[in-house]
Amino acid sequence: MPQEHFEEGDEEEEAADSIGELPSKGAPPATSQTVRRKRQPNPNFSPISASGYFEQATQVSVPASGLDFRVYYTPPKFAEGTVMICHHGAGWSGLTFASFAKEVIAQSKAECGVLALDCRGHGKTFPIPNSNTDEGDLAIETLTSDLVNLISTVFPDVNAAPTLLLVGHSLGGSVVVRACPFLQERKYRITGVAVLDVVEEFTLEALPIMTSLLESRPEGFDSPETAVEWHVKTNAIRNVTSARISVPGIIVKNPSPSPTSPEYLWRTPLRSTAPYWTSWFTGLSSKFLSARTARLLVLAGTERLDKELMIGQMQGKFQLVVLAGVGHIVHEDDPTGLAETLVEFWRRNERVVAGIKKVGDL
């Protein structure tokens, strides 16, 4: 991994850079009048730099995908350490894992590192110039290939690579579950796969209402502060500090501002991703249960398993944790609680005592 730290100017850039996933059902509709009304930014929602949460923020060129990936990384402090690879959900960016990453480093005493990426069409990941790469191609196979290619670029020597623990939120959960066998084929050591707040059956059932939910979102915002404030006040994110880090990375300056348009727009136009929604989540449960590693499912607030997962849980095929007092963005709402869960999962499965089965082993 290139040993680059936050570049000069990154602190300012990160403070002006982040986005949201498919919004929660409880988010109240915002009117165009609300979006276009100019008002003074509230300093209580001003952006916070991610430089205090990750050691490095760098661009990684991955010719195999035709992309220049933005990667946020804090390496483990020990040669035998593990790296949690964190893949965000639709509309978000790697900065959504910033507060969680800081907690993991602290709770694992830096034995665990954290690498979070901006996936294709999100955050600061863009096509390599003259590559003819379509950043709007968000097919699950493409996103899976992107993750495998990125990890192979960051850790090119499999024998020297750290053990990996794959963590994915929502869409990211589908990506890491599908990437796991491909990485194992390349001989990477995968100590576990953790899926955050996505269950195939219930997600697929909710997809028909997503278009109307997206219609209720503002077209954009007048400042990063108003974007943060909207996410906090609609309960999309319940942790103000985390929102101040992550939200600025999911909006971009409006290239053609006018008196009737917002200054900032969403980085990722989620409506255009609708053709991919069903394929993102179809088959997730079976692929999760068949992963040849330890498996963890973290849900927000309530235990809602589809039939396949219910049977798998009764058979002891995975560990289930339900976090209280959080919404869909579990890693931002309670980064401390989720870090405790993931670090405990890592300790149990990476340092397993001879004769004791890993979670999910039969």
Q: Take residue 53 and report the two structure tokens written for it.
A: 């949460």
Which pLDDT band holds residue 304 (cuts at 50, 70, 90)?
A: confident
What is d(CA 327, CA 23) in angstroms, rounded to the nearest whole number? 11
Which 3 state secondary structure label does DSSP give 162?
Answer: coil
10 Å Cβ neighbour count for 267? 21
The mean per-residue pLDDT over the stretch 186-212 comes to 94
Residue whose C-alpha is closest to residue 69's, from 139, 9, 141, 152: 152
What is d(CA 209, CA 25) in angstroms, rounded to the nearest whole number? 9
Inter-residue long-range contacts of 348-355, CB under 8 Å, 24+ positions, other chains counted: 348/294, 349/191, 349/192, 349/293, 349/294, 350/82, 350/163, 350/165, 350/191, 350/192
Please, what sign has the CA dihedral across residues 288, 290, 292, 295?
positive
246 labelled catalytic: no
Q: Which of 170, 174, 246, 285 is catalytic?
A: 170
Cβ(95)–Cβ(17) below 8 Å: yes
pLDDT at 212: 85
pLDDT at 362: 42
pLDDT at 352: 47
**Whether residue 279 has pLDDT greater than 60:** yes
CA 72 to chain centre: 12
61 labelled catalytic: no
**Whether residue 355 has pLDDT greater than 50:** no
Please, what sign has the CA dihedral across residues 325, 94, 156, 76?
negative
**Whether residue 351 has pLDDT greater than 70:** no
The string of DSSP codes covering 250-285 is TEEE-SS--TTS-SEEESS-GGGGGGGHHHHHTTHH
Q: Which of 197, 222, 333, 334 is catalytic?
A: 197
Cβ(218)–Cβ(36) below 8 Å: no
Which pLDDT band holds residue 1 (cuts at 50, 70, 90)?
A: low
What is d(CA 34, CA 233) in angstroms, rounded to the nearest whole number? 13
Burial grade of 315 (CB within 10 A; 0-12, 13-18, 19 or more): exposed
**Whether residue 214 has pLDDT greater than 70:** yes
Is the model more confident about 259 or about 151?
Answer: 151
**Whether residue 4 has pLDDT greater than 60:** no
The mean per-residue pLDDT over the stretch 260-288 comes to 95
10 Å Cβ neighbour count for 193? 27
Residue whose C-alpha is closest to residue 85's, from 137, 9, 154, 18: 154
pLDDT in tens, 14-29: 443 333 344 333 444 4
What's the residue count for the chain? 362
pLDDT in tens, 28-75: 444 444 445 576 899 999 999 999 999 999 999 999 999 999 999 999
pLDDT at 303: 83
pLDDT in tens, 281-302: 999 999 999 999 999 999 998 8
pLDDT in tens, 226-246: 999 999 999 999 999 999 999
Which pLDDT band holds residue 224 (cuts at 50, 70, 90)?
A: very high
Is the model more confident about 270 or about 6?
Answer: 270
Q: Which of 87, 122, 328, 331 is catalytic?
A: 328
pLDDT at 36: 54
The mean per-residue pLDDT over the stretch 340-349 comes to 96
The correct answer on CATH 2.40.30.10 for the domain covering 10-350 is no
197 labelled catalytic: yes
